Amino acid sequence: MSSLSQNFIRDKFVDYYKQKSASILAPSSLLRREFGFILLEKKVMLRHKGFKNVEDLRSSLVNIVPSDVYFSSAYYERPEDEMKAKGWLGADLVFDIDADHIPTPCAALHDLWVCSSCGASGRGKHPKICPTCGQIKFKEKTWPCEICLEASKAEAIKLVDILTEDFGFSSDVLTVAFSGHRGYHVHVESESVRGLDSLARKEIVDYVMGIGLEAKFHGLGKSNMPERRVSGPDLNDQGWRGRVAKGTYDFLLTASKNDLLKIGLKPIHANSLLNHRDAILESWKKKGPWGIIQHISLETWTKIAEYSVEMQSVKIDTVVTPDVNRLIRLPNSLHGKTGLKKVEFSIRDIDDFDPLKSAVAFNDGLVKVDVSEVPEFRVKNQIYGPFKKQKVELPTAAALMLLCKGMAKVVQ
Ligand SMILES: [Zn+2]
Ligand SMILES: [Zn+2]
């Protein structure tokens, strides 16, 4: 990166940590937390930091000017010691949702690869071999597009629902935040989870993702004599039973013939389900659609239920939650890939939360940048681009997003 761009990013990050210092709050039990910083220019991680008070934390942000700031989900007796000597006392339960783990159709349009050797680039997943120079190492650049951000938010909504409804966590112990890039974090801070080991946390991951879940153990089967009809879970059922019902409800409400064929149904059964859509809808007032269409077998309903599990399951990063020593991004700190900040918000506001408004950290100034290539993007209410090999003057927040992504350079 050019030093002009690098200096611009550094200046803006310094400004932010000076001016918005008061927005940086200490996590609970500050003395027990480990902190980590990624250094702006060198991109190396500085770990095993500890702070006595929030003022020390704030002033070190101004002095170090990190590209990214993290604190441990864990509590330690000695956070600044090496890993083995820290004295683990417990950890919050954390979840990370990232568009990288959600298959969105737009990824092939906006994600870029760049050859590490010659700089050749293209869209979507990188090729095996660079078509220009024949080398095999690539950097991938993902993009915080609106569709991907919406997809992440939908997962966060499902996760919060499972944590409150199935696990019974009160909203007081849950924190939801936009990560500042392409995802959401959910943080559970409660005595009841603190002591869980990695395996116990893995069990929670499996539950949330519906791994190994079979509908036959959740109410789907044949009823007893005399009719031997198919019966299944109800919308009012608790836990995964209710989720299987809800997934089935949602799917059959709008499914096209093609949707039904894609999950492995025979055309005759797909037609039959579509012809009975009104009856299916009506059936949820009683026992659900499971037994109402004569020749739709248990096997067919099982395929539908399996798909509904897939839809209801939450796509989380499976590595993060079981890690009892995980570092997580500090709220209101800047994300080094975007210049947006990580923002927490109330669960009640999740539906209307707009990350591209709430996470904007810079409101003043214009800067001229030379853009290599970016898709159309939005910051607050303004749409920019698409740009390709052109010089444009942009507001600081929009320019920073491109500069941090390495998709533009500051020009004089
Ligand atoms: Zn190359
Ligand atoms: Zn996208």
Give per-residue pLDDT as tens, 290-304: 989 988 999 999 999
What pLDDT is recorded for position 295?
Answer: 87
State in Å: Cα 129 to ligand 1 middle: 8
pLDDT of 100 > 90? The answer is: no
Rounded to whole angstroms, the Cα distance separating 232 from 301 reads 9
State in Å: Cα 265 to ligand 2 middle: 30
- Enumerate residues with CB within 5 Å of ligand 2 (an ion): 104, 106, 145, 147-148
Output the pTM of the full model: 0.93
Ligand whose nearest atom lies closest to the CA of 142: 2
Range 397-409 average pLDDT: 95
Rounded to whole angstroms, the Cα distance separating 185 from 160 reads 11
Ligand whose nearest atom lies closest to the CA of 375: 2
pLDDT band at 13 (very low <50, low <70, confident <90, very high): very high
State in Å: Cα 119 to ligand 1 middle: 6
Q: How far apart are the first and last CA of the chain?
A: 15
Number of Cβ within 10 Å of residue 278's Cβ equals 8
State in Å: Cα 138 to ligand 1 middle: 8
Residues 369 and 392: beta-carbon distance below 8 Å: yes
Rounded to whole angstroms, the Cα distance separating 219 from 153 reads 29
Name the 3-class secondary structure at 314: coil
pLDDT band at 2 (very low <50, low <70, confident <90, very high): confident
Residues 159 and 208: beta-carbon distance below 8 Å: yes
| Residue 10, both tokens | 């550094």
What pLDDT is recorded for position 112?
Answer: 82
Ligand whose nearest atom lies closest to the CA of 121: 1
State in Å: Cα 115 to ligand 1 middle: 5
Residues 71 and 25: beta-carbon distance below 8 Å: no
Lowest mean pLDDT among 58-67, 106-115, 127-136, 246-255: 106-115
Name beta bridge partners: 33: none
Determine what percent of the chain is predicted with pLDDT higher than 70.
Answer: 100
Name the burial class of residue 302, with classes exposed (0-12), middle (13-18) and buried (19+) by CB atoms within 10 angstroms of its CB.
Answer: middle
Residues 69 and 61: beta-carbon distance below 8 Å: yes
State in Å: Cα 30 to ligand 2 middle: 36
State in Å: Cα 182 to ligand 2 middle: 9
- Longest Cα–Cα distance of the chain, Å, equals 83
Number of Cβ within 10 Å of residue 21's Cβ equals 16
